[in-house]
Structure 1
Amino acid sequence: MAFNWTAVFAILLAAELVGYAAPATYVVGDGFGWGIPQDGGTTYANYASQHVFTVGDVLVFNFTTGEHDVARVTKSAYDGCSSTSPLFLTTVGPASLTLNTADADYYICTFGQHCSLGQKLAINVTASKISPSPAPASPPPPPSTTPSPTPIVTPPTSSPSPAPGGRATPPAPASAPAPGSMVSPPAPTPGTFPGTPSIPPPTSELTPPPPPSSAPVRTSYAVLFVVFASMIIGLIMM
């Protein structure tokens, strides 16, 4: 026989729902119980704000019989601490009260000035326990859309490629003016008139002639010296 996993899942889900909806039991005032607080009623106000009460839950009022009691009253009787015509009254402690309706419930002690001294409780009863849904997680920040800087690449300067045979290709001639277009003549140089030939400026100084060379004079002196020396040597040898 095939195992039916769907039935098992349904049973587990039903058990989970039953456990979730099971009534809870709350002790009023926790460890302090039901009595006259020393802080003027702040004890029970803080207690009510720390719990979620649902239809079917049970409130347990721990008190000593003959010293306190529990009366469920209207809001006006709660505000004025009036014990006249309570909705419910129990004088035997401890008392367990089941929450039957989803509404605001008000409880007081009718002994003397106990209510005026802070022995009073106000709670809100809900139809079912609703767990607060977790706050949605904030979405991650969008990725940055700033484009990265594009590197500037300088193209290499192309040199004229040599033509076949080792000769460089001459640059292309300048484009000739279109037919019918007028070519403006070059602007004349300041101080000159159109059509006047350019005359180079006169030279302010004349170049002096080079000094005469002293080479012939030195050659004559050498010849005379040789002749004179020969004559002296000839006289000595005679």
Structure 2
Amino acid sequence: MAFTEKAVVFLLMMMAAFHVSQAAVHKVGDSSGWTIIGNIDYKKWAATKNFQVGDSIIFEYNAKFHNVMRVTHAMYKSCNASSPLTTMTTGNDTIKITNYGHHFFLCGIPGHCQAGQKVDINVVKVSAAAAPTPTSAMASPVPPANVPAPSPNVASPFIVAKGGVGVLTLAIALVAFLTLSTHA
């Protein structure tokens, strides 16, 4: 196999590895889940995450006592649950992030949002070259002009694969490339 062909095969494997390893699953509230018990700071929780298009967020909660409502920014700020964009009530709701921007959720049970059961999932666009193209299935209810500027990202600009599967796939791609280059 010529070097050019090997390079193309290697690049295709690397692109596949990145695509496989890109999506992450975020359980809202981590082990505590979606609740008002334990004074969980969902704002602080969300600030520790790096949400990306393709990721999934899971709301786990007792459906007898809670729900999940997707709302506009104004409704989020005022804890207004009167006309949500969507309402989920299963107790185990998964939402796939399909676009950038802020996605606002709250519990519509009276008093729960006021007690802190609300979360702003902010999906920041990393760069035009590295980011996948978003779809409009989960359009942000806030126009970009009303969204505060994101905090500077202190992370390295190098694309890092998430999870063991991504690292394993990258390692396999590297071994395949080295094997192809030594058997030419």
TM-score range, shorter chain: 0.5 to 0.7
- Residue of structure 2 in register with 1:181 after alignment: none
In structure 1, distance between residues paired with 2:124 and 2:91 = 26
d(CA) in 1 for partners of 2:16, 2:87: 32
Deviation at 1:74, TM superposition (A): 0.6
d(CA) in 1 for partners of 2:37, 2:42: 8
- Opposite residue 25 of structure 1, the aligned amino acid is V
Q: Distance in 2 between matches of 1:99 and 1:9?
A: 33
Query: Which residue number corresponds to residue 72 of structure 1?
Result: 70
User: What's 2:115 paired with?
Assistant: 117
Asked if the contact 1:37/1:118 (under 8 Å) is kept, the reply is: no
1:102 match: 100
Deviation at 1:96, TM superposition (A): 0.2
- 1:125 maps to amino acid: V
Query: Which residue, out of 156, 160, 178, partners 1:132?
Result: 156
Q: CA deviation at 1:4?
A: 2.9
Q: Please give the alpha-carbon distance, in whole angstroms, between the structure 2 residues aligned to 1:88 and 1:36.
A: 21
Alignment of 1:157-168 (within 5 A): none
Equivalent residue number for residue 11 of structure 1: 9
Aligned to 2:88: 90
State the alpha-carbon separation in 2 of the partners of residues 14 and 67 from structure 1: 48
**2:115 & 2:11 partners in 1: Cα distance?**
48
Secondary structure of the equivalent of 2:69? Answer: strand
Report how far residue 28 of structure 1 moved: 1.0
Match of 1:81 in 2: 79
More helix per residue: 2
Does structure 2 conserve the Cα–Cα contact (< 8 Å) formed by 1:37 and 1:117? no
Separation in structure 2 between the aligned mates of residue 87 and residue 15 of structure 1, nearest angstrom: 40
Q: Which of 52, 55, 61 is the aligned partner of 2:53?
A: 55
- CA deviation after TM superposition for structure 1 residue 99, in Å: 1.1
Structure 1 letter corresponding to 2:157: S
Q: Give TM-score, length-normalised by structure 2.
A: 0.63
For 1:132, give the aligned amino acid.
Answer: S
Q: Which has the larger radius of gyration?
A: 1
Q: How much identity, in percent, do the aligned residues show?
A: 28
Q: Tell me the residue number matched to 2:34.
A: 34
Q: Which structure 1 residue ranges, 5 or more long, are not aligned? A: 135-238
Q: TM-score, normalised by structure 1?
A: 0.50
Please say if residues 25 and 58 of structure 1, whose CA atoms lie closer than 8 Å, have aligned partners that are also in contact: yes
Cα offset for 1:11?
2.6
Distance in 2, matches of 1:44 and 1:61, equals 12
Deviations 1:82-106 (A, max 9, x none): 1121111111120000112211111
